[in-house]
Amino acid sequence: MIPHVLPTYNRANLAFERGEGSWAIATDGTRYLDLGAGIAVNSLGHANPELVATLTEQAGKIWHVSNLYNIPEQERLADLLIEHTFADTAFITNSGTEAAELAIKMVRKFWSESGDSDRFEILTFEGAFHGRSTGAIAAAGSEKMVKGFGPLMPGFRQLPWGEMEALKAAISDRTAAVMVEPLQGEGGIRPLSDADLRLIRELCDQTGALLVLDEVQCGMGRTGKLFAHEYAGITPDIMMVAKGIGGGFPLGAVLATEAAASGMVAGTHGSTYGGNPLACAVGAKVMEIIAAPEFLAEVNRKAGLLRQKLEGLVAAHPDVFEGIRGQGLMLGLKCIVSPADLVKAGYAEHILTVPAADSTLRLLPPLNISDEDIAEAVARLDRAASRLDA
């Protein structure tokens, strides 16, 4: 018999009833050190007192208001996003997938309003993940995601990851946009170099193609800058944000320049829930905290500490790990063993981690994890790896 919950996930037999900072407490009372943070979502840890206060205060005022009306909390969140980024305008969504959908629509509308509706091809990259809607799976195009869901939405071409020669050959003045994660998450914590990101920007400028960055996983302070593209000193035309921006409340956004968004006039897009007061009040608080330079400086300090300890871990288990990659608190341990086995060994040591493609174990702790919890996490990872030592 099919389970009451549609069985689309391979779940571990664990359930959590509470959280405190970087700890998730299971229904049997066991405390797990959470180095997955709901896959980069619980950016400020579980039950963060400031977020709980903001959420409960807003919950006592008003939860939902239709976008038929002005929503001050939505405007406040948009103001903060604009103040701290390249963008001139923002649309608030409930998830990363919805942000991807709007980004794709925005690109198409831009070219159709420019009188060139045949200019719709978006170049994407192998190993990408942009969500699970029909548009987002067509964009990423991986066999695993699209199998059985055809016919796929046309208008996407996947290029080999990080191969700039392939991009140079593919991009032209018929390309509508390039859509890319500056640091791939699901694809295995695979970074684009700053030089490659700058080259992509240059190629877009030369051809007129829009640059769409997917910072759903790598954004919101995760890499030690508010957004990962800042390292390369470039700005996109459109950017997708989600995950960490809600600190655990479902929230996302599309940010865009005035020019890129120029086609998105009244009636062209909408959402019942997107931008509701409850989500936006939390999102604005998260933005206030994470965008502060002192907070980001701390993320970088903690990232340095974690990375230094992980180097010791990798050296101590040469049959388990091959190396470390990623930036800030978005780190991947490239594995020789199966990352899924390591995740399981982690459960036995009461630490939560996340597997990714390309034989990678992902570490995505809350951005405010304490130094003690970093040391404890690496001790637990060490014991987990010892279970798998040859």
End-to-end CA distance of the chain: 40
Of positions 51, 77, 100, 122, contacts ligand PLP by CB under 6 A: 100
Angle between helices 339-348 and 371-388 (to 10 degrees): 120
Q: Does 42 bind ligand PLP (CB under 6 A)?
A: no
Q: Does 101 bind ligand PLP (CB under 6 A)?
A: no
Of positions 24, 204, 216, 381, contacts ligand PLP by CB under 6 A: 216
73 vs 186, beta carbon nearer ligand PLP = 186
100 vs 384, beta carbon nearer ligand PLP = 100
DSSP structure string for 202-244: HHHHHHTPEEEEE-TTTTTTTTSSSSGGGGGT---SEEEE-GG
39 vs 292, beta carbon nearer ligand PLP = 39
Q: Does 127 bind ligand PLP (CB under 6 A)?
A: no
Q: Does 242 bind ligand PLP (CB under 6 A)?
A: yes
Site string for ligand PLP, 166-205 (x = CB under 6 A): ---------------x---xx-------------------
21 vs 96, beta carbon nearer ligand PLP = 96
Q: How far is the CB of 212 from ligand PLP (least distance, A)?
A: 11
Interacting span for ligand PLP (CB under 6 A) from 210-218, 254-262, 297-305, 312-320: 210-218
The dihedral sign for the CA sequence 140, 103, 7, 246: positive
Interacting span for ligand PLP (CB under 6 A) from 11-19, 43-51, 96-104, 373-381: 96-104
Q: How far is the CB of 360 from ligand PLP (least distance, A)?
A: 14
Distance CA 303, CA 224 (A): 8
Distance CA 26, CA 46 (A): 13
Q: How far is the CB of 297 from ligand PLP (least distance, A)?
A: 25
Q: Which residues are annotated as a binding site for N(2)-acetyl-L-ornithine?
A: 132, 271
145 vs 378, beta carbon nearer ligand PLP = 145
Of positions 32, 129, 231, 321, contacts ligand PLP by CB under 6 A: 129
Per-residue tokens: 319: 């049959």
Angle between helices 277-290 and 49-59 (to 10 degrees): 150
Q: Give the type of residue at 216.
A: V
Beta strands at 321-327 and 360-363: parallel, antiparallel or unpaired: unpaired
Q: Does 121 bind ligand PLP (CB under 6 A)?
A: no
Interacting span for ligand PLP (CB under 6 A) from 123-131, 191-199, 300-308, 349-357: 123-131
**How many of the chain's residues bind ligand PLP (CB under 6 A)?**
15
48 vs 94, beta carbon nearer ligand PLP = 94
Q: 10 Å Cβ neighbour count for 21?
A: 19
Interacting span for ligand PLP (CB under 6 A) from 17-25, 58-66, 124-132, 371-379: 124-132
Distance CA 22, CA 367 (A): 9
Using alpha carbons, list the distances in angstroms from residue 288 to 42, 86, 178, 282, 284. Answer: 15, 17, 30, 10, 6
245 vs 345, beta carbon nearer ligand PLP = 245
Q: 10 Å Cβ neighbour count for 69?
A: 7
Q: Does 158 bind ligand PLP (CB under 6 A)?
A: no
Show the DSSP H helices in 229-363 as ranges.
277-290, 293-316, 339-348
Distance CA 215, CA 116 (A): 28
87 vs 384, beta carbon nearer ligand PLP = 87
Residues 294 and 130: beta-carbon distance below 8 Å = no
Q: Which residues would be at the binding site for ligand PLP (CB under 6 A)?
A: 39, 95-97, 100, 129-131, 181, 185-186, 214, 216-217, 242
